[in-house]
């Protein structure tokens, strides 16, 4: 029954300390002392820092951090920190990277570190002429934008270009100005948003219209990260032979390229890897995910972020291209000590190198998922690793977890009801 005595209207909640908030939440939700203690155990994130990173903090939510091995990117071996709650994601990257390691691993590139900020103007009487008026002010616009961020300028970044589009919207023509800004080692949201807000009154004056939105675009298509790898047939073959595996993977790609229902899952697999590194390094997962999916839908049809084809000598070639707006400065990257440690593990000294490594991880992840799907099926490898989670869900603790998980894999039935039965057996309760 609904409890009508509880109220979520808590004035001044944000002004309380984390401990006071937790007490209120515990009371509201009827949490026992153990649950409350778990919430306030912030692990490797200082509670005071957490309270500064986001609002209304009561604790922190810890996610496992795994390391993907075997990755060689542009001739350099690198260990990959991945923050994810999903089993088999880290193993999949290790597995894919192992199979192309001897062939040289991944080669990567980047289109640049340019972000786009948009300024929306409406009620412009002569949008096409206004477009030219704004384009004619390029040097003035550059000075205004660069004046917003001298620090960025000192690192070689800043305004690069202005573009103006006349959009045919439901509310009539709309004038949209794009500021193209090199944000170097920052993701750049705050930098370009400040520029857009500062420039907005000028756009209103030059266009004769009214300005509404002034915000970056997450479709960061001037910041594309690319990765490529060749998987030799003798490395991917196994029992069914390299050619069959290769053809199955290529066909899986063709399926994703032709069908948005499949492409969504295909790209979700890629983002298993991408988002895990983005999160581990304190970057904005939503920004990267929005950019990736918008890029996958360019041209009007949602499709695959990767491509698989056969090289002239019959090997499997895989490539990926996606927007990668990540930074080493700003957001939580600098503030979160675990993010700093993850960047140290990666050994990256530029946002570009980080973006390129993440693209390689996305490609690796996709290779392993497609290989599993096109051969044994995803459940064999994934469920074998997921068996431990199922064992824990069934109530197994300590040593029981491994024993129950092993029994589930042996029976080929990774299900909670089976786990419960195995556990009862183990405990002599059957």
Ligand X SMILES: CC(C)(COP(=O)([O-])OP(=O)([O-])OC[C@H]1O[C@@H](n2cnc3c(N)ncnc32)[C@H](O)[C@@H]1OP(=O)([O-])[O-])[C@@H](O)C(=O)NCCC(=O)NCCSC(=O)C[C@@](C)(O)CC(=O)[O-]
Q: Could you tell me if 203 and 121 are in contact, meaning their C-beta atoms sit under 8 angstroms apart?
A: yes
Catalytic residue among 268, 380, 402, 410: 268
Handedness of CA 197, 199, 203, 204 (dihedral sign): positive
How deeply is 133 buried, as exposed, middle or buried, from its count of CB atoms within 10 A (0-12, 13-18, 19+)?
Answer: middle
Q: 373 contacts which partner out of ligand NDP, ligand X, none, CB within 5 to 8 A by kind?
A: ligand X
Residue found by looking up tokens 């170097």 in the block = 184
Tell me, yes or no, if 284 is annotated catalytic.
Answer: yes
Residues 59-78, interacting with ligand X (CB under 6 A) = 70
- Shortest Cβ 219–ligand X spacing (Å): 23
Q: Which residue in 327, 360, 381, 423 binds ligand NDP (CB under 6 A)?
A: 327
Residue 268 designated active-site: yes
The verdict on 182 binding ligand NDP (CB under 6 A) reads no
* 135 near ligand NDP (CB under 6 A): no
Part of the chain binding ligand NDP (CB under 6 A), chosen from 15-23, 151-159, 361-369, 405-413: 151-159
Answer with the entry of ligand NDP, ligand X, none that 169 interacts with (C-beta below 5 to 8 A by kind). Answer: none
**Looking at beta carbons only, is 88 or 315 nearer to ligand X?**
88
The answer to the question of residue 95 lying near ligand X (CB under 6 A) is: yes
Contact positions with ligand X (CB under 6 A) in 225-254: none
Binding segment for ligand X among 6-14, 166-174, 198-206, 264-272 (CB under 6 A)? 264-272
> From the candidates 149, 182, 284, 400, which is the catalytic residue?
284
Count of residues engaged in binding ligand NDP, rule: CB under 6 A: 23
- Catalytic residue annotation: 86, 268, 284, 382
Point out which residues bind ligand NDP (CB under 6 A). 149, 151-152, 155, 157, 183-191, 193, 216, 218, 284, 287, 327, 329-331
Point out which residues bind ligand X (CB under 6 A). 70, 86, 88-92, 94-95, 98, 265-266, 268-269, 272, 368-370, 372-373, 378, 381-382, 385
């Amino acid at each position: 029954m609904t409890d009508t005595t509880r109220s979520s209207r808590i004035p001044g909640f944000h002004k309380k300390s984390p401990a006071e908030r937790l007490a209120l939440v515990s009371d509201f939700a009827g949490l026992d002392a153990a649950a409350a203690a778990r919430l306030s155990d912030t692990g490797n994130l200082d509670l005071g820092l957490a309270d500064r990173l986001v609002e209304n903090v009561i604790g922190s939510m810890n996610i496992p951090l795994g390391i993907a091995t075997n990755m060689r990117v542009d001739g350099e071996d690198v260990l990959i920190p991945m923050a994810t709650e999903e089993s088999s994601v880290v193993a999949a990257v290790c597995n894919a990277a192992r199979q192309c390691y001897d062939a040289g691993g991944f080669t990567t590139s980047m289109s640049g570190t340019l972000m786009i900020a948009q300024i929306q103007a409406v009620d412009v009487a002569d949008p096409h002429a206004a477009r030219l008026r704004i384009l004619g002010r390029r040097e003035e616009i550059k000075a205004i934008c660069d004046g917003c961020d001298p620090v960025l300028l000192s690192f070689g970044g800043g305004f690069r270009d202005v573009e103006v589009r006349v959009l045919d919207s439901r509310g009539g023509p709309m004038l949209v100005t794009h500021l193209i800004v090199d944000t170097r080692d920052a993701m750049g949201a705050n930098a370009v948003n400040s520029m857009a807000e500062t420039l907005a009154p000028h756009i209103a004056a030059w266009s004769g219209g009214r300005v509404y939105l002034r915000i970056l675009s997450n479709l960061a298509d001037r910041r594309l990260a690319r990765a490529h790898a060749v998987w030799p047939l003798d490395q991917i073959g196994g029992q069914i032979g390299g050619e069959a595996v290769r053809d199955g993977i290529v066909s899986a790609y063709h399926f994703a390229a032709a069908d948005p229902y499949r492409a969504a899952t295909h790209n979700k697999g890629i983002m298993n890897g991408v988002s895990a590194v983005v999160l581990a390094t304190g970057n904005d997962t939503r920004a990267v995910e929005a950019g990736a999916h918008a890029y996958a839908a360019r041209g009007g049809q949602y499709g695959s972020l990767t491509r698989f084809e056969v090289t002239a000598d019959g090997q499997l070639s895989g490539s990926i291209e996606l927007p990668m707006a990540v930074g080493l400065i700003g957001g939580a990257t600098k503030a979160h000590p675990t993010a700093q440690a993850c960047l140290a593990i990666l050994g990256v000294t530029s946002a570009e190198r980080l973006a390129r490594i993440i693209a390689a991880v996305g490609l690796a992840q996709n290779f392993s998922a497609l290989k599993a799907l096109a051969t044994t099926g995803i459940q064999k490898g994934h469920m074998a690793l997921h068996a431990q989670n199922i064992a824990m869900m069934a109530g197994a603790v300590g040593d029981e977890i491994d024993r129950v998980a092993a029994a589930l894999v042996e029976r080929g039935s990774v299900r909670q009801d089976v786990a419960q039965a195995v556990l009862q057996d183990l405990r002599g309760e059957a």
